[in-house]
Amino acid sequence: MSSVMRYSSEEIVWQEVPGETSLAYTITGCPVGCKGCHSVDTWPVGSGVELSPGRFSQRLYDYQGLITCVLFLGGEWHHEALLTLLSIARTHGLKTCLYTGLERVPTEIEKQLDYLKTGPWVARRGGLESRSTNQRFMDVKSGELLNVHFWD
């Protein structure tokens, strides 16, 4: 597996991580393969723009004072590269969040996270806004389940 992370979009988001202003990266090459995935166009490995540590650091300087968190939508399959970027984000005093379609991620990654969304997309269960979802949004340090913040 390539260690180079690439992304298809970079945007500021407010709803994906409750209470935070997040710089969100959609990482390409997701291998999970959920049926009904809304981001099939991001599946091809090697697509998108390279997210090198240098580029990432520059973006964090660009957004200094404007964001409180960095969100990676995928990327756990680039274990070392993700750890490097999470470490850079924390060095900048930012919180960190990962959305993964897996049920769990390696402990080394979890240790670098403030928030973690787990679970694949299952259409009949819905996403985080659904009370019957299979997905879990956690405060990693406290272990508190925060799904309630996504409900209307």
- Residues at the contact surface with ligand SF4, assessed by CB under 6 A: 30, 32-34, 37, 39, 74, 101, 120-121
| Nearer to ligand SF4 among residue 32 and residue 140 (C-beta) | 32
Please report how close the Cβ of residue 42 comes to ligand SF4 at its closest, in angstroms.
6
The pair phi, psi for residue 40, each rounded to 5°, is -55, -30
- Nearest approach in angstroms of CB 74 to ligand SF4 is 6
Q: Which is nearer to ligand SF4, 60 or 76 (CB)?
A: 76
Cβ-Cβ contacts under 8 Å for 42 (sequence gap 6 or more): 8, 26, 27, 28, 29, 30, 48, 74
Minimum distance, C-beta of residue 51 to ligand SF4, in the bound complex (Å): 16
Q: Which two tokens stand for residue 78?
A: 């680039």
Pick between residue 42 and residue 96 the one whose CB is nearest to ligand SF4.
42
Cβ distance to ligand SF4 smaller for residue 25 or 121: 121
- Report the sign of the C-alpha dihedral through residues 39, 35, 5, 97, in that order: positive
Least spacing, CB of residue 23 vs ligand SF4, in Å: 18
Place of tokens 């300087």: 61
Residue nearest to ligand SF4 (CB): 101
Q: Which is nearer to ligand SF4, 26 or 96 (CB)?
A: 26
**Residue 109 neighbours by CB under 8 Å, 6+ apart:** 76, 79, 82, 83, 86, 98
Beta strand pairing call for 22-27 and 95-99: unpaired
